Amino acid sequence: MKGGNYNRFRGRHLSVTLITLIFTTIILWVSEKNPSITTLLTGQDQFTWPSSVCNYAKGQWVADSRRPLYSGFGCKQWLSEMWACRLTQRLDFSYEGYRWLPNNCEMPEFERSAFLRRMQDKTIAFIGDSLGRQQFQSLMCMATGGEMSPEVEDVGKEYGLVKARGAKRPDGWAFRFPNTNTTILYYWSSTLADLVPINSTDPRSNVAMHLDRPPAFMRKYLHRFDVLVLNTGHHWNRGKLTANRWVMYVNGKPNDDSKLVSMGGAKNFTAYSISKWLDSQLPYLPRLKAFFRTISPRHFRNGDWNTGGSCDNTTPLTEGREVLQDQSSDEVVEGAVKGTRIKLLDITAISDLRDEGHISHYSVRATGGINDCLHWCLPGIPDTWNELLAAQI
């Protein structure tokens, strides 16, 4: 009696198991052939990174007559004048004629209409410092081909990106391509820390810079992003913090951790904090592909911004054309995303070979002696960062 019950139960159990097994096998088999069927079956637009693990940062620069991807004269709608080297006194533009060729990864030619179709109904967000803004402007030029595009809509208001009273500019910009409903936006957060005035009614009060809390903008809008690119790096110096009256906070209190008093320690702590937080959100946001871009290298020689440092080379690739190393040159960002679902957008060593691509001393504001060996001419090196991004989304 007992045995019979048991056997009957086991029989039913076995057939359920068998059916489940067969069904699972079919799903697995079908989804391998056609991933979109998985989407239908699971009801989720879940993404997985390409299974082939290749390092886009290893490869070489090659001359390419099809570069640049847009005209530096044409892309007036999106390029800041100070970064459009074609509009300055610079006469040598050989830096525009190269493309990055990874050794072991597929990197399809960037084609703007195909890119926008792929980004149908999607939002691409850049959050970071002025180098992030360069990457944003570059992508706007790449996506429009550098042509006047009156149809592209300013949707900054949707994201609260409006110029505050008395401010020089808004904290960011957002534009939408109506044909594909693709939104590209940028938010200025130079340290990726949350900034909160200590006394909000006093415009001259200090500002708490919460190292362990992502910017409010990012917390608020993260669920609306399909692609996110973070960056930070060059604002981690005492002078900038003091000038902005930013005071480091950890755990909601002024920082008293001696390890975090050094700029390097605080930057590292913030990069790890934001990566950990973002990684904790990603399981709930299966559409979102998140990247942390590594630091953009500077090329000041014989000094700095303030001490007459310069970068006068105009000949491409005088330091070589290849990157062979496996590790990133930015160990902070590489370490921060290690073991998370955030992808490294490693551009440091690649860009380090391109010292001739900076604004140098050709600024439009040509006030004697100012050299910009930090920002890049556009079109230029940040276009390559976006090609690397486009290949990985």
**Cβ 199 to ligand NAG shortest distance, Å:** 4
**Cβ 177 to ligand NAG shortest distance, Å:** 11
Question: Residues 80, 113, 179, 199: which binds ligand NAG (CB under 6 A)?
Answer: 199
Told to check if 251 binds ligand NAG by CB under 6 A, we report no
**Cβ 205 to ligand NAG shortest distance, Å:** 6
Of 24 and 181, the one with the shorter C-beta distance to ligand NAG is: 181
The one segment of 129-137, 329-337, 354-362, 379-387 that binds ligand NAG by CB under 6 A = 329-337
Of 42 and 199, the one with the shorter C-beta distance to ligand NAG is: 199
Told to check if 181 binds ligand NAG by CB under 6 A, we report yes
Residues near 229 by Cβ (< 8 Å), separated by ≥ 6? Answer: 124, 125, 126, 127, 128, 132, 135, 291, 292, 293, 345, 389
**Cβ 124 to ligand NAG shortest distance, Å:** 11
Told to check if 262 binds ligand NAG by CB under 6 A, we report no
Neighbours of 354 (CB within 10 A): 23
Distance between CA atoms of 44 and 64, rounded to whole angstroms? 40
Of 264 and 303, the one with the shorter C-beta distance to ligand NAG is: 264
The one segment of 6-14, 51-59, 145-153, 331-339 that binds ligand NAG by CB under 6 A = 331-339
**Cβ 116 to ligand NAG shortest distance, Å:** 13
The one segment of 60-68, 199-207, 249-257, 369-377 that binds ligand NAG by CB under 6 A = 199-207
Told to check if 121 binds ligand NAG by CB under 6 A, we report yes
**Cβ 79 to ligand NAG shortest distance, Å:** 26
Told to check if 42 binds ligand NAG by CB under 6 A, we report no
Peptide bond into 68 cis (omega under 30): yes
Of 64 and 334, the one with the shorter C-beta distance to ligand NAG is: 334
Which of 237, 224, 154 lies closest to 190 in space, CA to CA? 237
**Cβ 366 to ligand NAG shortest distance, Å:** 38
Task: Write out the two tokens for 215.
Answer: 């910017």
The one segment of 198-206, 237-245, 306-314, 373-381 that binds ligand NAG by CB under 6 A = 198-206
The one segment of 162-170, 243-251, 307-315, 327-335 that binds ligand NAG by CB under 6 A = 327-335
Of 69 and 124, the one with the shorter C-beta distance to ligand NAG is: 124
| Total residues in contact with ligand NAG, by rule CB under 6 A | 11
Which of 135, 190, 180, 125 lies closest to 158 in space, CA to CA? 125
Told to check if 123 binds ligand NAG by CB under 6 A, we report yes
**Residues in contact with ligand NAG, shown as a per-residue x/- string from 56 to 75 under the rule CB under 6 A:** --------------------
Distance between CA atoms of 203 and 217, rounded to whole angstroms? 20
**Cβ 241 to ligand NAG shortest distance, Å:** 18
**Cβ 137 to ligand NAG shortest distance, Å:** 22
Of 121 and 326, the one with the shorter C-beta distance to ligand NAG is: 121
3-state secondary structure the chain: CHHHHHHHHHHHHHHHHHHHHHHHHHHHHHHHHCHHHHHHHHCCCCCCCCCCCCCCCCEEEEECCCCCCCCCCCHHHCCCHHHCHHHCCCCCCHHHCEEEEECCCCCCCCCHHHHHHHCCCCEEEEEECHHHHHHHHHHHHHHHCCCCCCCCEECHHHHCCCCCCCCCCCCEEEEEECCCCEEEEEEECCCCCEEEECCCCCCCCCEEEECCCCCHHHHHHHHHCCEEEECCCCCCCHHHHHHHCEEEEECCEECCCHHHCCHHHHHHHHHHHHHHHHHHHHHHCCCCEEEEECCCCCCCECCCCCCCCECCCCCCCCCCCEECCCCCCCHHHHHHHCCCCCEEECCHHHHHCCHHHEEECCCCCCCCCCCEEEEECCCCHHHHHHHHHHHCC
Question: Residues 78, 272, 300, 362: which binds ligand NAG (CB under 6 A)?
Answer: 272
**Cβ 174 to ligand NAG shortest distance, Å:** 12
Binding site for ligand NAG (CB under 6 A): 121, 123, 181, 199, 201-202, 268, 272, 331-332, 335
